[in-house]
């Protein structure tokens, strides 16, 4: 049985990425070195992730390029509040918040290294979609 699981982001600038995620989500630094930063939510310690220097020797050479094929999802209480913060900070917004049929309101951002970040909060699902499940 797994004891723990978290996502690790590859970065070309650890400090820039650390500050971006702390500013956006309010995480705190649990560990920091010149090649790795571990962030954790101050209220829920089960919410954590790492930031790893993309060019560090422990990253296999073929994975040191730009991010591709996935996204980091963070569920928040109020995606619209976070969107206002993102606009104020001039962050790279890929998609403005919108309600999705399955009951999430989603904002898409790009982090400083080009990773797609999905920030979502709950909203009512589309009744037609719910009816189609029966």
Which one of 3.40.228.10, 2.40.33.20, 1.10.3720.10, 3.30.720.120 gives the CATH number of domain 1-56? 3.30.720.120
- Give me the helix-helix angle, 14-25 and 79-89, nearest 10°: 140
Same fold yes or no, 1-56 and 70-134: no
Integer Cα distance of 53 and 37 in angstroms:
9
Domain ranges of the chain: 1-56, 70-134
For residues 121, 8, 22, 104, the Cα torsion angle rounded to the nearest 10 degrees is -10
pLDDT at residue 115 in the model: 95
Domain 70-134 class in CATH? alpha beta
Q: Which two tokens stand for residue 117?
A: 């970040």
The model's pTM is 0.90
Q: Residue 134: its pLDDT value, please?
A: 85
Below-70 pLDDT ranges, the chain: none
d(CA 121, CA 107): 9
Residue 133 confidence (pLDDT): 93
């Amino acid at each position: 049985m797994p004891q723990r699981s978290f996502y690790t982001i590859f970065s070309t600038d650890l400090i820039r990425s650390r500050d971006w995620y702390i500013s956006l989500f309010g995480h705190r630094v649990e560990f920091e070195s010149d090649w790795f930063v571990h962030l954790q939510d101050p209220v829920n310690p089960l919410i954590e992730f790492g930031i790893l220097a993309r060019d560090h020797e422990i990253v296999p050479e073929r994975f040191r390029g730009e991010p591709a094929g996935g996204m980091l999802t963070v569920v928040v209480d109020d995606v619209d509040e976070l969107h206002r913060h993102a606009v104020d900070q001039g962050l790279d917004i890929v998609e403005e918040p919108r309600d999705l049929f399955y009951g999430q309101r989603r904002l898409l951002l790009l982090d400083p290294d080009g990773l797609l970040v999905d920030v979502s909060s709950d909203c009512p699902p589309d009744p037609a979609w719910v009816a189609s499940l029966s």
